[in-house]
Amino acid sequence: MTYADERETTEGRVYTVTGGDWDDLVSEVDPVGEDRLVINMGPQHPSTHGVLRLIVELEGETVREIRPVIGYLHTGIEKNLEYRTWTQGTTFVTRADYLAPIHNETAYCLSVEKLLGIEAPERATVLRVLMMELNRVASHLVALATMGMELGALSMMIYGFRDREKVLDIFEAVSGLRMNMAYIRPGGVAQDIDQRGIQLIEEFLEYMPKALDDYDGLLTGNTIWKERTQGVGYLDVSGCLAMGVTGPVLRAAGLPWDLRKTQPYCGYQDYDFEVPIHTGADAWARYMVRIEEIRESLKIVRQALDKLEPGPVMVADKKIAWPAQLAVGADGMGNSLNHIRHIMSQSMEALIHHFKLVTEGFRVPEGQVYVNIEAPRGELGMHTVSDGGTRPFRVHMRDPSFINLQAIPALAEGGLLADVISGGASLDPVMGGCDR
């Protein structure tokens, strides 16, 4: 290897290389060539979809090693379930992945119903599908909004949260709450949908496709957005399968694996929709898949509205149905005055039954089941164990955020520090579900 002697200039030391390997040359004379810097990204909320800590080892701007650290948002949800009745458990699981509460509730209630050997009425099942798909839209809107915010597209953050508010307004009209609704109950749903809720859904179905077109104009054709996402955070099908990664990340790598199609539940086999896929396997592909999944979810919501037929929204068995009578008061909250009057002053048997059902709960036959559904971030599994009592013996959630987070080193190592944000945001993790 031949080269000219180094010389000092106003710009620093200059080498004129005429042959050989640049790395070998610099390593011989550069005293900091092997130095690496270890930094903490987090734990903080704004840039990491929740309280996540990343320990990053850098060589210049290149990530050589990255380690996710979790547990900062631990709530003990799974353990708390062991001290609550089966119905009260709904109020806990809904708070795990707080951006997909309806999916948490549905998976849990399907597992309880499987142990009980019962099925929810048809109208309740259609309402579950309706609410889950609206929830999928709301969750993906947050994914797009936060990813935009983290990459500097602040307009996308504003628009995404603005449009999510419309879904939360629907949730409030249907269930009384915007988030953590505990709307799905073992045996059905807490209450029926009224005309106000249906009207809001109709208005949203008319509005949202136009908003998606605006997103396309804002981001899809944006040169800066493309440069920050295309070829960034690459993870192919083999990598996804090796780590158990599911959901939009897997479908963005080209595999059309969606439990609504491959292992249908809640009657999804009767709905007409497509499974969007992409072959880019990068942050751009995951963005595109989520945009298309919102469009498909809107199609399912329309079909669910058309499928709504008059009927009960809770199983007829009064030993399971909770509350004892699904009648809503004039203010839209609580039980109707007629029902209160009945159990408090006219029927001692009704009062005793209501008291025992609410305080003690119903018994679930001994056994264990595993139920999985397609949540916004991938496969959400519920392993539920009963010892024959009125409370779960054990409930373990297979949360997709927990599984998908282990892909961060595969996405980030060897890339630039700035691309850690792009790759991590494209996974769309929610730490409430991860730490639970």
104 and 58 together in one domain: no
Task: Using a pLDDT cut of 70, give the percent of the chain over it.
Answer: 86
Residue % of the chain over a pLDDT of 90? 54
Query: Is there a cis peptide before residue 312, judged by omega within 30 degrees of 0?
Result: no
- pLDDT value of residue 337: 65
Residue showing tokens 């751009």: 284
Query: What CATH code is carried by the domain that includes residue 304?
Result: 1.10.645.10
Tell me: do 95 and 51 sit in the same domain.
Answer: no
Instruction: Give residue 324's pLDDT band: very low, low, confident or very high (50, 70, 90).
Output: very low
Can you tell me the mean pLDDT for 298-322?
89
List the domain range (segments joined by +) for residue 133: 80-322+361-435
Are residues 61 and 119 part of one domain?
no
Write down the pLDDT at residue 201.
95
Pair 41, 175 in one domain: no
Q: How many domains does the chain have?
A: 2
> Does pLDDT of 53 surpass 70?
yes
61 falls in which pLDDT band (50, 70, 90)?
A: confident
Q: Tell whether 335 is covered by a domain.
A: no
Q: Are 130 and 205 in contact (CB under 8 A)?
A: no
Same-domain pairing of 56 and 189: no
- 250 sits in which H/E element: helix 248-251
Is 337 part of a structural domain of the chain? no
> Do 62 and 86 fall within a single domain?
no
- State whether 130 and 241 are in the same domain: yes
The model's pLDDT over 402-432, given as tens digits with 9 standing for 90+, comes to 999 999 999 988 888 888 988 888 998 888 8
Same domain, 376 and 230: yes
Instruction: Please give the residue that has the higher pLDDT: either 329 or 432.
Output: 432
Q: Do the strands 37-44 and 52-59 form a parallel or antiparallel pair, or are they unpaired?
A: antiparallel
Give φ, ψ of 369 to 5 degrees: -140, 160
Residues 85 and 60 in one domain: no
Whether 340 is in a domain gets the answer no
Q: Say if residue 162 is in the same domain as residue 272.
A: yes
399 domain-assigned: yes
Residue 339 maps to a domain: no
Confidence of residue 29 (pLDDT cuts 50, 70, 90): low
Check whether 100 has a pLDDT greater than 90: yes
How would residue 137 be classed by pLDDT, with cut points 50, 70 and 90? Answer: very high
Is the Cβ–Cβ distance between 326 and 362 less than 8 Å? no
Q: Among 274-278, 337-341, 374-378, which is the least confidently predicted range?
A: 337-341
Top pLDDT among 22 and 176 is at 176
pLDDT band at residue 10 using 50, 70 and 90 as cut-offs: confident
pLDDT of residue 344: 62
Residues 6 or more apart in contact with residue 179 via CB below 8 angstroms: 98, 101, 168, 171
pLDDT digits (tens, 9 = 90+) for 184-243: 999 999 888 989 999 999 999 999 999 999 988 889 888 999 999 999 989 999 999 999
Q: Could you tell me if 32 and 181 lie in one domain?
A: no
Q: What is the pLDDT of residue 326?
A: 47
Q: Which of 80-84, 319-323, 397-401 has the lowest mean pLDDT?
A: 319-323
Average pLDDT, the chain: 86
Domain end among 34, 69, 104: 69
pLDDT band, residue 361 (cuts 50/70/90)? confident
pLDDT at 57 over 70: yes
Q: Is residue 347 part of a domain?
A: no
- Judge whether residue 30 has pLDDT over 80: no
Say if 336 falls within a structural domain.
no
Do 87 and 154 reside in the same domain of the chain?
yes
pLDDT at position 321 is 80
91 found inside a domain: yes
